Amino acid sequence: MTTIKSLDEQKQVELEAAAFRTLVAHLQQRTDVQNIDLMNLAGFCRNCLSKYYVAAAAEQDITLEYEDARERVYGMSYSEWKAQHQTEATVEQAAAFAATHD
C-alpha cells in the first residue's frame, strides 16, 4: 500500500487536483445546500473556495478574476446560481452565522 508521504510531488498535486474537482462537482450537484449552511457547519463556502482558487493562482503569478473562479466553482455565473438556487436565510441560520462570524 502506498502512503501519502511516499508520493512524489507531482502525484500528490494530481491527487489534490482530482479531490478538488470532485468537491466542486459535489457542490454543483448539491444546490440544496446553501452557502450559509456550509459556513455555519464547516466555516467555508463556495465563495471561500473561489477565493482559495484565486489565491492559489496568485501564488503562481497568475491573475484570475474572482468572478471567473466563482463560475468555475458554481458551474455557472454567481448571479445565475443565486437566482436559481439561493434561498433567504432563516432567522436560525442568520443567528448561527452571527454567533460564529464577527
pTM here is 0.89
CA proximity to 52, closest of 23, 15, 79: 23
Q: What pLDDT, on the 0 to 100 scale, is given for residue 100?
A: 87
CA distances from 59 to 9, 28, 30, 91 (A): 17, 26, 30, 39
Residue 102 has pLDDT above 80, yes or no: no
Q: Domains in the chain, start-ordered, CATH in brackets?
A: 35-93 (1.10.3340.10)
pLDDT of residue 52: 97
Q: What is the rounded distance in angstroms from the CA atom of residue 38 to the CA atom of residue 36?
A: 5
Cell numbers for 97: 452565522
pLDDT at 61 over 80: yes
The per-residue pLDDT for 21 is: 97
Mean per-residue pLDDT, 74-98: 96
